[in-house]
Amino acid sequence: MKKIKFLIIIFSITFFVSSVKAESNFSLQNYLDKNNIENGETQIYLLNRCSAVYAYASGIILKTDAVSSKNFIEISNNLLFKSVELTIIEEEKKLEEVQKKAEEIRKELFNNYIAEGKKNWEKNKSHFKGSYIANDMTICSKLTEEK
């Protein structure tokens, strides 16, 4: 009986982790279509995804365009900071705790972009074109436009 419970728990955890991973490999547009942008949680996720995609773009162009790479990483950090601010307001948590969590989330999302970019590179020799990453960059660029 204990073995059965153990197997069920392991299966459940594995299923949950794989569904979370799979959920992060989709277009930001799909996420926004399914979630209310007025919701603070949706806005925080959007800021985190955009921070990660700008960090990814910064790394991709670092060798060919250091100035743009630096600009992208500044944008990434600004978006992450806005995510932290909004999380503090929404969840009433301490700055240090929220910063650490936001950095972990960005790292995970960044790694997802790396994996997806590699797949895309193998498919068509582009890190962005033909993948949801290009669409994510377009959406995120709207967050950073000067008004």
Is residue 13 assigned to a domain?
A: no
Asked if residue 125 is part of any domain, the answer here is yes
What is the per-residue pLDDT for 9? 43
Q: Are 108 and 17 in contact (CB under 8 A)?
A: no
Q: What is the pLDDT of residue 146?
A: 62
**6 is a domain residue:** no
Domain that includes residue 135, residue range:
51-147
Q: Is residue 43 assigned to a domain?
A: no
| pTM beyond cutoff 0.85 | no
pLDDT of 129: 86
**Structural domain total, the chain:** 1
17: in domain: no
What is the distance of C-alpha 22 from the center of its chain? 13
Q: Report, as ranges of residue numbers, the positions in the chain whose pLDDT lies below 70.
A: 1-25, 146-147
User: Residue 1: its pLDDT value, please?
Assistant: 53
Residue 77 in domain: yes
What DSSP state is assigned to residue 35? Answer: S
Tokens 């992060």 sit on residue: 24
> Does 24 map to a domain?
no
Residue 19 resides in a domain: no
> Whole-angstrom Cα distance, residue 91 to residue 78?
20
